[in-house]
C-alpha cells in the first residue's frame, strides 16, 4: 500500500539507458504473418479485422485520402497492441506518456492540414470564417477557429493519455484494496475482486476503443483536408 501510485508510469531503464524504444518496437513482433498460400484461422481472422477496420475508416475518403490507409491501419494496430500489453502485470504502457502521444498526433495532424492547404487552399481558409458572419465578429471568429485548429493534436494526445492513465490508476487502487482486505474480511475481498475482474474487462474494451477513436479522429481530420 506504500507503493508510489505513479511508479508504473515512470519510463523504465536498462543499465541507465531508456528502454522505451525497445518496448515500442515490441508490439509489431506479436503480429503473426504467413508465407503460405492458405492461411490458418488466426491469420484469416486478423486479415478480416484489418479489412473491416480499414473499410469503415476509408469509405468516406476520396482517392487522395485513401493513400493514407496503410498508415492509419498500422496506427490503430500499434496503439491497440500497446494498450493491451500495458494491462499485463509489471508492464509499461507507452501510451500513458503525453510526449509519445503528441509525437504521434502532431505529425499526422500537420500532414493532413498541410495537404489541405496544398490541394484546396480556398476551402481550407474558408473554415476560419463561416459564411454570413457579421463584420464586427470576423476578427474574433478567425482567432477562435485558429485556436480550435491548433488545439486538435493536443486534444488527441490528452484524450488517449487521460483514458489509459485513469484506467491503470483505478485498477491499481482496486488491486491494492483487494490485497489489504484479504486479511481482514473475506466476503468483502471477493466482492472487490469481482469488481477488479469486471474493471479489467472494461479496460480491455477501453484499450481497443481508444485506439479506434484516435485513428478515427485522424481520419476525420484527413477527410476535412482532402
CA-based nearest residue to 172, from 62, 94, 96, 89: 89
At residue 12, the pLDDT reads: 65
> What are the residue ranges spanned by the domains of the chain?
7-225
18 beta partners: 13
Question: What pLDDT does 1 receive?
Answer: 45
pLDDT value of residue 17: 65
What's the CA gap between 101 and 103, in Å, rounded? 5
Paired strand residues for 61: none
pLDDT at 150: 86
Q: Are 120 and 64 in contact (CB under 8 A)?
A: no
Q: Looking at residue 143, what is its pLDDT?
A: 83
Q: Treating both helix axes as pointing N-terminal to C-terminal, what angle do 186-224 and 41-58 enclose, rounded to 10 degrees?
A: 50
Please name the residue that has the C-alpha cell 499485463. 88
Per-residue pLDDT of the chain (226 residues; tens, 9 = 90+): 445 666 666 666 666 666 667 777 777 777 777 777 777 787 788 788 888 888 887 787 787 778 888 888 888 888 888 888 888 877 778 888 888 889 889 999 888 888 888 877 777 777 777 677 777 777 787 788 788 888 888 998 999 988 888 888 888 888 888 888 877 878 888 888 888 888 889 989 998 899 989 988 888 888 877 7
User: What global pTM score does this model have?
Assistant: 0.78
pLDDT of residue 135: 76
SS3 for the chain, per residue?
CCCCCCHHHCCCEECCEECHHHHHHCHHHHCCCCCCCCCCHHHHHHHHHHHHHHHHHHCCCCCCHHHHHHHHHHHHHHHHHHHHHCCCCCCCCHHHCHHHHHHHHHHHHHHHHHHHHHHCHHHHHHCCCCCCCCHHHHHHHHHHHHHHHHCHHHHHHHHHHHHHHHHHHHHHHHHHHHHHHCCCCHHHHHHHHHHHHHHHHHHHHHHHHHHHHHHHHHHHHHHHCC
Amino acid at each position: 500500500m506504500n507503493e508510489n501510485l505513479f511508479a508504473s508510469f515512470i519510463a523504465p531503464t536498462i543499465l541507465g539507458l531508456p528502454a522505451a524504444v525497445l518496448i515500442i518496437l515490441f508490439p509489431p513482433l506479436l503480429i503473426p504473418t504467413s508465407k503460405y498460400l492458405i492461411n490458418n484461422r488466426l491469420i484469416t481472422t486478423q486479415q478480416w479485422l484489418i479489412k473491416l477496420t480499414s473499410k469503415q475508416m476509408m469509405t468516406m475518403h476520396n482517392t487522395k485520402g485513401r493513400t493514407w490507409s496503410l498508415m492509419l491501419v498500422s496506427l490503430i494496430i500499434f496503439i491497440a497492441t500497446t494498450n493491451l500489453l500495458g494491462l499485463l502485470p509489471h508492464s509499461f504502457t507507452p501510451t500513458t506518456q503525453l510526449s509519445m502521444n503528441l509525437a504521434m498526433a502532431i505529425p499526422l495532424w500537420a500532414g493532413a492540414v498541410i495537404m489541405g492547404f496544398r490541394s484546396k487552399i480556398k476551402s481550407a481558409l474558408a473554415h476560419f470564417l463561416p459564411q454570413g458572419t457579421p463584420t464586427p465578429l470576423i476578427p474574433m471568429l478567425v482567432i477562435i477557429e485558429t485556436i480550435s485548429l491548433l488545439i486538435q493534436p493536443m486534444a488527441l494526445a490528452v484524450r488517449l493519455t487521460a483514458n489509459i492513465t485513469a484506467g491503470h490508476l483505478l485498477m491499481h487502487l482496486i488491486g491494492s484494496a483487494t490485497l489489504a482486505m484479504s486479511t481482514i474480511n473475506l466476503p468483502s475481498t471477493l466482492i472487490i475482486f469481482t469488481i477488479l475482474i469486471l474493471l479489467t474487462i472494461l479496460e480491455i474494451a477501453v484499450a481497443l476503443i481508444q485506439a479506434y477513436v484516435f485513428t478515427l479522429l485522424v481520419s476525420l481530420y484527413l477527410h476535412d483536408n482532402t
